Structure 1
Amino acid sequence: MIDSWQILRVGACRHPEAMTLKGGHWCPVSFPALVGLIRHRTFGPILFDTGYDDRFFAATEPLPERLYRLATPVQFDSADSLPVQLARLGLTPDDIAGVFVSHFHGDHVAGLSNFPKARIVCAGEGLKRIRAGSRFGRVRKGLLSALLPGDIDGRAAFFEAMPRVRLNNDMGPFTHGADVLGDGSLIAVELPGHCPGHWGLLIRPEGGKPVFFIGDAAWSIAAVADNRPPPAITTALLGETATYRRTLSALNTVSQTGAVELIPSHCEVTAAKWL
């Protein structure tokens, strides 16, 4: 059912490497915002996240939201927005049948409103959290409620309500997932720890290697391969440190077999390999 997949780079931000990788250096490095484009034979084109968009800058213009932009300086050119890149591939925003939201941090959902006809597939817990608490509290967690489409409640389908299926042995410690379309082609797998409502997406292209989009369960493929988590100050700020480290360790186990292609959302090595 999956004919093809690819990744697109939709902006980037800069952080000290040490904030994302234990033992890393303190020089700022670029973290691309990678988006997956999956072509499903019957359902249609599906996106894994949306990357940055001009709406991110509008949403972070006032205080306290501006603190988000100051903490993560963004590199984004409207000429390389996701709709523009899709147009180069012969697609319009209305062609996108679904958007899989790994989680609701601003760099993953800034472009969500560009796709008014898409089914939005996400965690109900994630949608709940982006609306909860004070504006400052949400910004501290990387959440910008202004990025939500106004009609998201009518278009959302939640992982928690989808049929559970058993995963193949090549997924190692991960044993179950949620069958997004009911045909086994897109399996949502919970990857807890980074933030509430954080999920990855497993696809099995016909005739190809399984691909696991892991969102922010790791900021780089090196972190997975070496089982090197971020420092506790980073994981505690956004989520839960012990849980994050258990998830990373499980991904490390999967990576050691080489049977599944892992795609972190912010990895320059992954971008260089697949773009």
Structure 2
Amino acid sequence: MTRRDGGLNPAVFPALAALILHPVEGAILFDTGYDPAFFEATRTFPEILYRWMTPVDLGPGEAVADQLPDFGIRPEEVRAVIVSHFHGDHIAGLKRFPNARIFCARAGLAQVRKPGRFARVRQGVLADLAPADIDARAAFFEDHPRLPLGPDLSPFEDGADLLGDGSLMAVQLPGHCPGHWGLVVRQEDGRTRFLIADAAWSSGAVRDNAPPPRLTTALLGETGPWRDTLTALHRLWNRNPELLLTPSHCGEVEVEAPRGRG
């Protein structure tokens, strides 16, 4: 289901989030990963279908909000959460950060309000995971100034400057679902990291330009734009292999990721 040349065996997929420590803004999250709220949101039909289709193993202390104190950060100190898209495995912990601005796509939030519980679940959306005050806290990617990304990120041309200093640039990555965006982070060490969310489900898929089968891409999003985005990422990786391309469900990334005690 995740790459068209894959096998039929079940696979383990990490659900990763990124903690960004901005020198002025403080603690910022890119997505939240899973949280116990996911199990509450999938107790009833049809939402339980989500849990059946992608069984979740979340141990005590593994939720992002529970790991943050190990890094010296309390959940209420998180200043912003950047939502790549509104699938349940990316926003399950959103309610745990009550003081955070929520950077997201207007098109993505619209999916949460889409009528029909079954239709939402089929596309990976659990409306109960969105905070009740999300409209007041939302800052939409589409409304931020667009700046050029520079030749090191070609063929991607521009991004939304979220903080006004060029350090966090949201980049539209069409295909996976409506309102799917990644984030370019200019790190303190001079390297650039491109958090690509679910534009690819593994680093290997980017290297090999191996998209999911059409059955998967048509179910969740749009096959043509998804494959175009993956091809662009593949070209970028070939041109700039020093760039840190980071999918949200990649086992290679999980091995390198720092963790709290959970």
Q: Report the TM range for the smaller structure's normalisation.
A: over 0.9
Q: How far, CA to CA, are the matches of 2:208 and 2:253 in structure 1?
A: 15
- Which one of 16, 21, 26 corresponds to residue 34 of structure 1? 16
- Which one of 253, 263, 266 corresponds to residue 249 of structure 2? 266
Q: Unpaired runs of 5+ in structure 1? A: 1-18
Q: 1:110 corresponds to which residue? A: 92
Q: 1:134 corresponds to which residue? A: 116
Q: 2:78 corresponds to which residue? A: 96
Identity of aligned residues (%): 54
Q: Deviations over 1:149-195 (max 9, x none)?
A: 01110000000000000111111110011000111010000000000
Q: How far, CA to CA, are the matches of 1:83 and 1:123 in structure 2?
A: 23
- Which one of 33, 40, 44 corresponds to residue 62 of structure 1? 44
- Which one of 222, 229, 233 corresponds to residue 240 of structure 1? 222
Matched position secondary structure for 2:15: strand
TM-superposed CA distance for 1:58, in Å, is 0.5
Q: 1:219 corresponds to which residue? A: 201
TM-superposed CA distance for 1:95, in Å, is 1.0
Q: 1:15 corresponds to which residue? A: none
Q: What is the TM-score when the length of structure 2 is the normalising length?
A: 0.97
Q: How far, CA to CA, are the matches of 1:199 and 1:168 in structure 2?
A: 18
Q: How far, CA to CA, are the matches of 2:21 and 2:42 in structure 1?
A: 32
Q: Which has the higher strand share?
A: 1
- Which one of 162, 176, 180 corresponds to residue 144 of structure 2? 162
**Paired AA for residue 248 in structure 2:** S
Q: 1:205 corresponds to which residue? A: 187
**Paired AA for residue 242 in structure 2:** A
TM-superposed CA distance for 1:203, in Å, is 0.7
Determine whether 1:82 maps to 2:45. Answer: no
**Paired AA for residue 219 in structure 2:** L
When the two chains are superposed, the root-mean-square deviation of aligned CA atoms in Å is 0.8
- Between the two proteins, the alignment pairs up a number of residues equal to 257
TM-superposed CA distance for 1:77, in Å, is 1.3
Which deviates further from its counterpart, 210-219 or 19-28? 19-28
TM-superposed CA distance for 1:129, in Å, is 1.2
Which deviates further from its counterpart, 28-37 or 201-210? 201-210
TM-superposed CA distance for 1:81, in Å, is 1.6
Q: How far, CA to CA, are the matches of 2:98 and 2:60 in structure 1?
A: 19
Q: Say if 1:56 and 1:147, in contact at 8 Å, map to a contact too.
A: yes
Matched position secondary structure for 2:14: strand
Q: How far, CA to CA, are the matches of 2:248 and 2:141 in structure 1?
A: 20
Q: How far, CA to CA, are the matches of 2:61 and 2:248 in structure 1?
A: 21
TM-superposed CA distance for 1:273, in Å, is 2.8
Q: Say if 1:53 and 1:78, in contact at 8 Å, map to a contact too.
A: no
**Paired AA for residue 113 in structure 2:** R
Moved over 3 A (4+): none
Matched position secondary structure for 1:150: coil
Q: How far, CA to CA, are the matches of 1:63 and 1:167 in structure 2?
A: 44
**Paired AA for residue 138 in structure 1:** R
Q: Cα distance 1:169–1:259, how it changes in 2: closer, same or farther (>3 A)? A: farther
- Which one of 210, 227, 244 corresponds to residue 228 of structure 1? 210
Q: How far, CA to CA, are the matches of 2:242 and 2:103 in structure 1?
A: 26
